[in-house]
Amino acid sequence: MGVAMVTGGSRGIGKGIVLELARRGFDCAIGFTANASTAEETLGEVATIGRRGIIVRGDIGLRLERERIVEETHAKLGRVDVAAVAMGLLPFSTGQVIDVDGGFHLRRL
């Protein structure tokens, strides 16, 4: 169906989003900041569902890391079709943008 990138995707609500997107046919990039073992567990569940996945460590609050996360997802899984931000704190200011392959932008207004 496509590629989904979920920040905070290793546990909690983010993990639930990842698993539902995988069940709906998406390959998933699982973003995390601290706990690689929970990200690996979620990745295993994505594989059990029959979809491809990757884990990507990074803080989307930092511009260079946002760019790297998107670039890594694109390089390993393809164009990002769905992006979900499922982390507890997102320090974006008005006008900051995540460019996912030029297809769309995320913006806090």
What are the pLDDT digits (tens) for 36-66? 999 999 999 999 999 999 999 998 878 888 8
DSSP class of residue 28? E
Backbone φ, ψ for residue 15 (5° rounding): -65, -40
Percent of the chain scored above 70 by pLDDT?
79
**Higher-confidence position of 20 and 67:** 20
**Mean pLDDT computed over 82-108:** 56
Q: What is the DSSP code string of 42-89?
A: HHHHHHHHT--EEEEE--TTSHHHHHHHHHHHHHHH-S--EEEE--S-
pTM of the model: 0.80
**Low-confidence winner among 26-30, 56-60, 69-73, 94-98 (lowest mean pLDDT):** 94-98
Q: pLDDT at residue 102 above 90? A: no
